[in-house]
Structure 1
């Protein structure tokens, strides 16, 4: 944690944007997995 890549310190805003993008991507994947599971449960 907190290790700067290639010795350059990213601006907090850039870091927050990256986190927000990652969170959005993870949430999307999570929603897809949940809907897939719900479909499988409905088929059982």
Structure 2
């Protein structure tokens, strides 16, 4: 998993950028493409 972006939360769910992936799927369905805005901005700043 990408350091600092993804982790397993206390419920055992994948968390991406602080958002519970299980909850995102419930709201938006699958397939679901998730991007972390903060990580994208950090990457662009380094360019």
User: Is the TM value for this pair above 0.5?
Assistant: no
- TM-score, normalisation: structure 1: 0.31
- TM-score, normalisation: structure 2: 0.30
Q: Which has the higher contact order (CA 8 A, sep 6+)?
A: 2
Tell which structure's C-alpha radius of gyration is larger.
Answer: 1
In terms of fraction of residues, the more strand-rich structure is 2
